[in-house]
Amino acid sequence: MRFGDVGRLALENLWRTRLRTVLTTLGVVIGIGALVSMVSFGSGIQHNIASEFRELELFTLIQVLPGDVDLSDPLAAGMRAMEEGVETLDDETLAALRAVPGVALAYPEVSFPARLEFDGESAQTTVRALPAAIGEFKPFSELPYGAFFGSDGDAAIVVSQSLLEDLGIRLTDVPATAGRAHGDTTVTYAMLHSDEVLGRTLTLHTAVVDARSLMRQVASFEIPSGDLPVREEITELTIVGILERAGGFTSIGLGGQAIVPPETAEEIPRLAVSSVWDLIGGGGGDAGYSSISVRVRSMRDLDTVKGEIEGMGLSTVTIADHLEDIRSAFVVMDALLGAVGTIALLVAGLGIANTMVTSILERTREIGVMKAIGGGEWDIRRIFFVEAAAIGLMGGVLGLVLGWLVTRLANAIANAYIRPYGVPATDLFHMPLWLILGAVGFSVVISLLAGIYPAARAARVDPVTALRHD
């Protein structure tokens, strides 16, 4: 029998028992729907992280740390460093790093806590010093409002939208002259246009040790009560740019809600302790930096530059390293998500096998007749196989549609939930081509596997017995 006839017969049989066909197919649809939506969720998260990293040009970033750092146990490493002394990060290192071919930018990591005050509201945050040259890189090159400062000595500051919210300000597109409604019911924000923020002065309050007060306390054996020997210094800075809301993945490797130029940061009086490295190394300047960030010109330079830096006896961390860890974590997550879907599909496969065996019992006589008029075992087997495959194919395609609808619905719901928190709309799901083809293929394969036993059994039907069958 020709394959076209086999296919036609199989489809005719499925049509004849259409209620059962629909119910069986529904099982596959649900299985594939579950599989597709689960895997596309896992895939969506990975996709979003990777594209966000790419978007932020984080793949060009190398974090340089003092030599021989055991990142898993920084404290022990720190102790050892104090005892033995390691390759530290100082201005000499900085100059050497800047000289490495492929390096676009190298700057020390400097950050300090400060209180910011604007329009009578204040907020505590961490201020980072970044060179003006980083303004060429994302996300600083594409600030939504204003621009990155142009020189390392400007009395300027770039703030994030979340910091502005901490200061009770929300940005609106409505110009100042028009009437505005208040956005939130629990917290009252001042709705301001970006033009009402940019160019205005913000005061930065930093704490410094008041040497005189400390001396006085020490001299009089006075127990410090209430008044710490700390004095507040004030620096005025102009807001030149506003960053996207920091949060989600964007904060990885960037951190910071407020950015100032490095020379300006140098002049801001402050306590210089912000990390364990500052304790060890003495914190900045000649004594050394806690870490240095290096930006390479292109992703292709990353590995050579990284190798060169490590050759200088320094440790490096790249986002690519992190991404490998993340990726292996995702393999586990994908496997778990996929397993749930696969179980659903296997149950559907059993449903197919069950339906087909039932169908053989019903069609025993018919199979006998087909054999009597010339049907071979091969023909009968193929008819049943095609029936199983057709259920798998229909179930696979419709399951894909179901899975897609589920992801769209889930995405709409999730976005509706996170939108009030100001998170920009993202597609949480990603359905790559391999998933689409793989899901349908998997469905057909499972169906064929489910069809093996019924098809073999149908082919083995003894025509003499079958023709006596009622």
- Contacts with another protein, residue ranges (CB under 8 A): 1-2, 4-5, 9, 16, 365-366, 368-379, 463-464, 467
CA 269/CA 85 separation, integer angstroms: 29
Number of H helices and E strands in the chain, helices first, is 13, 13
CA 258/CA 244 separation, integer angstroms: 12
Nearest-approach distance from CB 355 to another protein, in angstroms = 17
Nearer to another protein, 154 or 366 (CB): 366
Residues 6+ apart with CB under 8 A from 181: 191
Residues 6+ apart with CB under 8 A from 349: 28, 31, 446, 447, 449, 450
Nearest-approach distance from CB 11 to another protein, in angstroms = 13
Nearest-approach distance from CB 341 to another protein, in angstroms = 36
Nearer to another protein, 14 or 169 (CB): 14
Nearer to another protein, 115 or 469 (CB): 469
Nearer to another protein, 16 or 408 (CB): 16
Nearer to another protein, 372 or 437 (CB): 372
Nearer to another protein, 1 or 357 (CB): 1
Nearest-approach distance from CB 24 to another protein, in angstroms = 19
Nearest-approach distance from CB 411 to another protein, in angstroms = 45
DSSP H helices, 56-194, are 74-84, 91-99, 161-166
- Cα 433 to its chain centre, rounded Å, is 20
Nearest-approach distance from CB 438 to another protein, in angstroms = 35
Nearest-approach distance from CB 461 to another protein, in angstroms = 11
Nearer to another protein, 156 or 370 (CB): 370
Written as six digits, the tokens of 397 are 């395609």
Residues linked to residue 67 through DSSP beta bridges, in sequence order: none
Nearest-approach distance from CB 434 to another protein, in angstroms = 38
Here the contacts of 5-12 (C-beta below 8 Å, separation 24 or greater) are 6/379, 6/382, 6/383, 6/386, 7/386, 9/383, 10/383, 10/384, 10/386, 10/387, 10/390, 11/386, 11/390
Nearer to another protein, 9 or 164 (CB): 9
What is the DSSP-derived secondary structure letter of residue 244? P
The SS3 call for residue 61 is strand
235-263 core/surface letters (b: 16 or more CB in 10 A; e: else): bebebbbbbebbeebbeebbebbbbbbbe
CA 257/CA 264 separation, integer angstroms: 17
Cis peptide before 139 (omega within 30 of 0): yes
